């Protein structure tokens, strides 16, 4: 029979992310829900900082416990919540910064030219 490997930590984090995102403003929630890459980045950032717990089950079996009821000590639970909040804030800040940068490029295309790209003859004359 085939066995499946299940990451219980991932299942726990998925549930926690959903409940923690519900406490954020609607704009933040929308950003993470509609952008799957952003949500995957959030999950990977949190999972990379935690020890992961796996179980194996037979392919025809169901999980013996609900993944959302997976037991964590109070300290572990607080650490998970803290890591999720940090990752949300960091990723949302990066997303906002990128969106502002992209919006400024759309408003002012090709208006910011560097001195290096100025006419080289006029630059040489001013230096001489």
Domain assignment present for residue 70? The answer is: no
pLDDT at position 110: 56
Domain assignment present for residue 84? The answer is: no
Domain assignment present for residue 72? The answer is: no
Residue 70 and residue 6 in contact, taking contact as beta carbons nearer than 8 Å: no
Domain assignment present for residue 16? The answer is: yes
What one-character-per-residue DSSP string does 50-105 give? S---EEEEETT---SS-GGG----HHHHHHHHHHHHHHHHHHHHHHHHHHHHHHHH
Domain assignment present for residue 83? The answer is: no
Domain that includes residue 97, residue range: 3-63+93-127
Domain assignment present for residue 105? The answer is: yes
Domain assignment present for residue 86? The answer is: no
Portion of the chain with pLDDT greater than 70, in percent: 70
pLDDT tens for each residue of 82-126 = 999 999 999 988 887 776 666 666 665 555 545 445 554 554 454
| Mean pLDDT calculated for residue range 70-93 | 90
pLDDT at position 107: 62
Domain assignment present for residue 51? The answer is: yes
Strand partners, 5: 56
Please provide the average confidence, as pLDDT, over all residues in the chain: 80
Distance of alpha carbon 13 from alpha carbon 19, whole angstroms = 10
Structural domains counted in the chain: 1
């Amino acid at each position: 029979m085939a066995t499946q490997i299940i990451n219980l930590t991932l299942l726990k984090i998925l549930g926690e992310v959903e409940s923690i995102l519900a406490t954020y403003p609607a704009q933040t929630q929308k950003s993470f829900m509609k952008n799957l890459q952003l949500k995957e980045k959030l999950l990977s950032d949190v999972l990379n900082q935690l020890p992961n717990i796996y179980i194996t089950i037979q392919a025809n079996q169901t999980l013996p416990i609900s993944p959302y009821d997976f037991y964590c000590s109070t300290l572990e639970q607080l650490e998970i919540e803290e890591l999720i909040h940090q990752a949300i804030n960091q990723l949302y800040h990066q997303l906002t910064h990128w969106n502002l940068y992209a919006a400024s490029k759309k408003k002012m295309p090709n208006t910011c030219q560097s001195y290096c790209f100025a006419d080289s003859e006029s630059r040489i004359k001013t230096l001489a």
